[in-house]
Amino acid sequence: MKLYRFVVVLCLFFLSCDQKSKVEKAVEEIPVDVKVERFDKVFFETKPQDLAKVKKQYPFFFPPGNDDNVWLNKMQDPIWREVYTEVEKKYSNFEHVREEFNVLFQHVKYYFPETKIPKVITVIGEMDYNAKAIYADSLVIVALELYLGKNHKFYEFPNYLKENFEERQIMPDVVSSFSFRKIPASADRTLLSQMIFEGKQLYAKDLLLPDYTDAEKMGYTPEQIKWCEENEEYMWRHFIENEMLYSEDPKLNTRFIAPAPFSKFYLEIDNDSPGRVGAWIGWQVVRSFMKNNNVTLPELLKTNAKEIFEKSKYKPKK
């Protein structure tokens, strides 16, 4: 009997690997050639007297109402010029990142055939960590000043934010922005709904970034992923016993969904927990739903949280 079970498990394993290889082979056949424009380079290497030419070429970066002195000051400001110098040190050759964009959008085209391949434009923004990478249909905007490495001297952010200021986070950030636009807005403000919303975005990374680790997809360290795996049952029981899942208390988002140094159970485990554990749990619910239902990625993103939860058959690992 043990031998029979071993053979069955082995067959399922190879069947799964074969299925994955079929998908990846199909993905590799999709022709994609992402174009990259280095607006940051153009802007900081343009002479002040030629600013009008840059504004004409990139009008969407120059909203009306701002005096030209705003741009001229940034163009010549020693601090911003130093930022540009540091960006150039790291990204003077952007080809390897462009190749990653090619692979990403091969996967996007496989799961969302109607998607147009966007142009990637790199910028140096205003150190706004909420706008690191933005997908906007025909464009992907990447703020390179926020991908210089977590230990860079410029960063005066909390460690939990700096952890994701790495080059390897560019693609996960783009997928987050892409999937956010694909998920319909919902009036459901329960914690469960917010968890599953985050879980959908993370599951999109499972399919669109198959070579990335769970830690990279989540923006965690490997140790934080391990903590969640080891405490999955405990966290789920805590949500259930305290009747949090269907609560619309806005504080629950801050405690368990929003970026934070740790999650707030108001227990001793807070000191060891990573932030956003509600998003991680939501990811496991969505993974369980996809495992137990024959649903495409676009269909998943449109399915409401209640249906996903009820059909997920989710059981936390002990």
The whole-model pTM stands at: 0.91
- Of all residues in the chain, what percent are helix, strand and coil, respectively (each to 5)? 60, 5, 35
Euclidean distance between CA atoms 295 and 233, whole angstroms: 26
Euclidean distance between CA atoms 277 and 235, whole angstroms: 8
Q: Decide the pairing of beta strands 36-38 and 119-123.
A: parallel
From residue 258, alpha-carbon distances to 91, 195, 223 in Å are: 30, 10, 19
- pLDDT value for 20: 64
Phi (first) and psi of residue 189, to 5 degrees: -110, 15
pLDDT tens track, the chain, 318 positions: 444 454 444 454 445 555 568 999 999 999 999 999 999 999 999 999 999 999 999 999 998 888 899 999 999 999 999 999 999 999 999 999 999 999 999 999 999 999 999 999 999 999 999 999 999 989 999 999 999 999 999 999 999 999 999 999 999 999 999 999 999 999 999 999 999 999 999 999 999 999 999 999 999 999 999 999 999 999 999 999 999 999 999 999 999 999 999 999 999 999 999 999 999 999 999 999 999 999 999 999 999 999 999 999 999 987
- pLDDT value for 12: 47
DSSP secondary structure letters along 191-246: HHHHHHHHHHHHHHHHHH-TTS-HHHHHT--HHHHHHHHHTHHHHHHHHHHTT-TT
What angle (nearest 5°) sits at the alpha carbon of residue 132, between those of residues 126 and 134? 115
DSSP label at residue 266: S
Euclidean distance between CA atoms 68 and 244, whole angstroms: 51
In total, the chain counts a number of residues equal to 318
Euclidean distance between CA atoms 2 and 57, whole angstroms: 68
Cα torsion through 281, 105, 101, 62, rounded to 10: -90
Is residue 177 within 8 Å of residue 134, measured between CB atoms?
yes
- pLDDT value for 7: 46
- pLDDT value for 2: 47
**In which residue are the tokens 């996903």 written?**
308
